Amino acid sequence: MTDAADKETPSFIQSNAPRTVLFPDSSISGKLSYNLPVKIDSRFSGEIKATDLLVVGPNAVVDAQISARHLKLEGKLTGNVQVIGCFEILSGGHFQGEAKVGELMIHPGAVFEGTGLILGGD
């Protein structure tokens, strides 16, 4: 017999791994808002608000104003970002714009073009 509590929350919701919500070969513009970890791996223009982790995947080309708790960049991002926690640009990631962040990590092979303000703390 299965415990009723096990059926209440699907296992994919319990995971902290980001869910891919926009896949390669898709293109969208507008306003997106998320309350859980998400990954965008497509073309997007507009505004994104994420109260958790936002991952801009390696196939992504994003032109947006972003507000997020944490941001990991693997693809291309142009715009203004405000990140309460860490803005991490991984190898192959390319950022162009203005960033106001709690912490900034730029890995070897990553590009940061623009201005940055490190506010500190999470």
Domain boundaries, the chain: 4-118
pLDDT of residue 23: 74
> How far from chain centre, in Å, is Cα 74?
9
pTM of this prediction?
0.83
pLDDT of residue 1: 45
Ranges under pLDDT 70 in the chain: 1-16, 121-122
pLDDT of residue 121: 60
pLDDT digits (tens, 9 = 90+) for 58-92: 999 999 999 999 999 999 999 999 999 999 999 99
pLDDT of residue 26: 83
Q: How far apart are CA 91 and CA 44, in angstroms?
A: 21
